[in-house]
Structure 1
Amino acid sequence: MASCSGDSRLIQFFNCRLVRDHRLVEEDLWVRNGKIINPEPIFFDERCKAHTLINCEGAIIAPGYIDLQINGGYGVDFSYDKDTTEQGVQKVARGLVKSGVTSFCPTLVTSPNDTYHTILPRIPMHTDRGAGVLGVHVEGPFINPQKKGAHPEHCIQSIDNGLETLCETYGSLERIKIITLAPEQVKELAVISELVEAGIVVSLGHSMASLSDGERAVQHGASLITHLFNAMLPFHHRDPGLVGLLASDAIPADRTVYFGIIADGVHTHPAALRIAYRTHCQGLILVTDAISALGLEDGIHHIGQLPLEVKQGKAFVAGSDTLCGSIAPMDECVRIFQRATGCSQVFAIEAASLHPARCLRIEAEKGTLDFGSDADFIFLNDELEVLATWIGGVCVHAK
């Protein structure tokens, strides 16, 4: 059997365990032209062998992690550094591959309109040897001031004129993939349906919404909850609020409500992680909600318009006890979640890969190792530590 000819280099990864069909399987992984391919036609039609063979030495090969909510990292704040937006996103993208993240949604917190108008057009949709940008997550400004968290109250708005309000605020919806809003800040919920039709995921968060408020928003197309348990009404047995969407009987059986959850050991108690996992595991998505201090030491940093202080591994709005994002990388969140819930390694991995891909409806390209999907994957050891990261079939990080 001869080596395949031409420019389409064929790579065979062997001595590995693949995350496929929700389990670990002992199979080789084949990559060509940045895609994961079916090896059968290689053997039976092309009758050739790989150009490159890589011995994985028993490592787990998993889909690359996808972070749907990340405010910055490595000294970069996406909502603050307006003059260096492109360079900042590139810097974070290259840093994220060390934690196994191969795709992400740069997240902008509540800001003045001119900040959106300046930053959104400058967000690069392509990165150089770093995690890919899937679109922007705008977390606000249409949130409830009573649950503002680290969002500046003077910038908070309500949606009074549907898409017209959104376009006035953001300037353009072109690069936006996710919008976090409080449903009670929306005059007419039909705007949610319009956003969904435009390919934008509507997420509910920073809200005082009742369960019925949340159900109406979901019935109009909302499909995600922003950092479950944080910046929303606490669970109450007579009205469980947005948390109740995890077990609502008003949502059709063929609809999945996804929810982001921060498993950084600070934002969400291990028992709360277990409750979420046992109640609605298929909708669970791990997010970092990481801030500019990710990868840095304690000190003063920024989140949007507000100064923040990192002390003893926790981030607060400066001069307060208000938590304002995480400094834990995604691979650490995966490990914390797996230990807290006792779930399988595969489930913990899929909560950071397959589930966010499904939420964005890109699971045909991302979040799996299925034939035809993008060759974005990571090598892990049995402790779920990242050994290497590959994007488009190219190694961009090796430990």
Structure 2
Amino acid sequence: MLHGRILTPTGWITGSIGYGQRIQQIQEDPAASHSGLTILPGFVDLHVHGAAGVDIMQGGDAGATVARTHARHGTTSLLGTTLTAKEPSIRRALAGLAGVIAERPAGGARMLGVHLEGPFLNLNRLGAQPPDVMVASLELVQSLHAVAPIRVLTLAPEVDGHLALVPQLKAMGIRVQIGHSAGSYEDGVAALEAGVAGFTHLFNGMTGMGHYQPGMVGAALAHAEYAEVIPDLMHVSPGALQSALRCIPRLYGVTDATSATGMPDGEYALGTQRVFKCMGCVRLATGSLAGSVLTMDQALRNFVGLGLDLADASNRLSLYPADYLGESERGRLAPGAWADMVVLNAELQPVAVYVEGEAIDLTSN
């Protein structure tokens, strides 16, 4: 049993949660307020490249290390995320993820599948991505999907052939997102009409909004139901975040975390790129931002610091990303749902995390 202030799908209650691997019951009990604890659904991070000095593109057991590291910050499920790379490197990364997806590592978050962020991007909007772009084909995506299940796929819809591919990918059950795109507002609207579901790290790696040329950002703000954003307050200014929160009903947070997450300042890898952690962010040698060192518990505190109430902030890190993936038994605290829970103190710091009922050791390295 856990006791405290509990966020349920119908609102807050003070009481207790009984659980095994799944939540068995939630009961009101005013005496539970004495615990001083808040119990939220575990965080669901749909864009994670690495942590603890390892990068998903390394393959092997990198995914397990990433899953364990992020679990200590309240992430209970996540997508291992690729970068642009040559096809053999992508296949190696997916092969490494396949085992972690099939069997959750002890002490780690549940790997729900793959976010294929590269290589179907626009060469002119790569940001920190390596320049190994490819044009997508149904056969190639099906072949990669057979190695490890692709749940989210980022592409630039203005690249020849990509727009026509969107309905086919949607039919495979893949959420297609616009990202690393030099496309126009009109390209974005056409992609949404074709079945695109969201936008990858909104504002970053896409054409910005102007009053004569609204760009891809304008298409998202005007028409999107879902979009991911990096709420580290470095990738996107607080003012831009407030604009997106007002415009996009189910804007949700992701970390875009790199191998430098949880590590001291220094040099790290982002795929084949050399990146440098300093002053709480990660940059290429050119100074451009290159992913983040954000964790989901810090994302929660940042959202609250922007003025969101705690329930709204929680929904944007748990319920909305789970719903986006169609994961109806995650991202919420309700009888029958997986017992994915994060317990917070008054400062919104995790004091306990449970993944499918397993208590995570928050002190391990």
Give the secondary-structure state (helix, strand or coil) at the position aligned to 2:334.
Answer: coil
Q: Aligned-pair distance for 1:276? A: 1.0
Q: Indicate conservation of the 8 Å contact 2:36/2:346, yes or no.
A: no
Tell me the amino acid that sits aligned with residue 373 of structure 1. A
Instruction: Provide the aligned length of Structure 1 versus Structure 2.
Output: 355
Q: d(CA) in 2 for partners of 1:241 and 1:135? A: 30
Q: Aligned-pair distance for 1:247? A: 4.1
Identity across aligned pairs (percent)? 32
Give the secondary-structure state (helix, strand or coil) at the position aligned to 2:18.
Answer: strand
- Residue 308 of structure 2: aligned partner: 343
Q: Aligned-pair distance for 1:228? A: 0.5
- Residue 20 of structure 1: aligned partner: 8
Give the secondary-structure state (helix, strand or coil) at the position aligned to 1:135.
Answer: strand
Cα shift readout 1:123-144 (whole Å, capped 9, x = no counterpart): 1212222101010111111111
Q: d(CA) in 2 for partners of 1:387 and 1:77? A: 27
Tell me the amino acid that sits aligned with residue 259 of structure 2. S
Tell me the amino acid that sits aligned with residue 238 of structure 2. P
Q: Aligned-pair distance for 1:261? A: 0.8
**2:291 is equivalent to residue 291 of structure 1:** no
Pairing partner for 1:389 from 342, 353, 358: 353
Unaligned runs of 5+ in 1: 1-11, 41-53
Give the secondary-structure state (helix, strand or coil) at the position aligned to 2:343.
Answer: strand
Q: d(CA) in 1 for partners of 2:55 and 2:194? A: 32
Q: d(CA) in 2 for partners of 1:395 and 1:171? A: 32
Q: d(CA) in 2 for partners of 1:165 and 1:186? A: 16
Cα shift readout 1:130-178 (whole Å, capped 9, x = no counterpart): 101010111111111111011122x11223xx3024346x373642111
Higher gyration radius (CA)? 1
Q: d(CA) in 2 for partners of 1:56 and 1:143? A: 52
Q: Aligned-pair distance for 1:186? A: 4.3
Cα shift readout 1:334-353 (whole Å, capped 9, x = no counterpart): 1112212x110111111110
- Residue 107 of structure 2: aligned partner: 129
Change (3 A) 1:186 1:372: farther
Q: d(CA) in 2 for partners of 1:398 and 1:306? A: 30
Pairing partner for 2:80 from 96, 106, 112: 106
Q: d(CA) in 2 for partners of 1:371 and 1:286? A: 25
- Residue 182 of structure 1: aligned partner: 156
Tell me the amino acid that sits aligned with residue 376 of structure 1. D
Q: Indicate conservation of the 8 Å contact 1:67/1:352, yes or no.
A: yes
Change (3 A) 1:246 1:152: closer
Q: Aligned-pair distance for 1:238? A: 2.4
- Residue 35 of structure 2: aligned partner: 57
Matches within 5 A, 1:148-227: 148-153=126-131, 155-159=132-136, 162-167=137-142, 170=144, 172=146, 174-187=148-161, 189-227=163-201
Segments of 4+ moved more than 6 angstroms: none
Tell me the amino acid that sits aligned with residue 343 of structure 1. L
- Residue 330 of structure 1: aligned partner: 296
Q: d(CA) in 1 for partners of 2:147 and 2:197? A: 18
Pairing partner for 1:31 from 5, 12, 19: 19
Q: d(CA) in 1 for partners of 2:193 and 2:304? A: 32
**2:247 is equivalent to residue 279 of structure 1:** yes
Q: Aligned-pair distance for 1:244? A: 2.1
Q: d(CA) in 2 for partners of 1:13 and 1:321? A: 45
Q: Indicate conservation of the 8 Å contact 1:316/1:323, yes or no.
A: yes
TM-score (norm 2): 0.92
Give the secondary-structure state (helix, strand or coil) at the position aligned to 1:164.
Answer: helix
Q: d(CA) in 2 for partners of 1:246 and 1:27? A: 39
Change (3 A) 1:344 1:222: same
**2:287 is equivalent to residue 321 of structure 1:** yes
Q: Indicate conservation of the 8 Å contact 2:24/2:336, yes or no.
A: yes
Q: Aligned-pair distance for 1:39? A: 6.2
Q: Indicate conservation of the 8 Å contact 2:14/2:33, yes or no.
A: no
Unaligned runs of 5+ in 2: none
Give the aligned CA root-mean-square deviation in angstroms. Answer: 2.0
Give the secondary-structure state (helix, strand or coil) at the position aligned to 1:184.
Answer: coil
Cα shift readout 1:301-339 (whole Å, capped 9, x = no counterpart): 11011111112222111x211110001211111111221
- Residue 353 of structure 1: aligned partner: 318
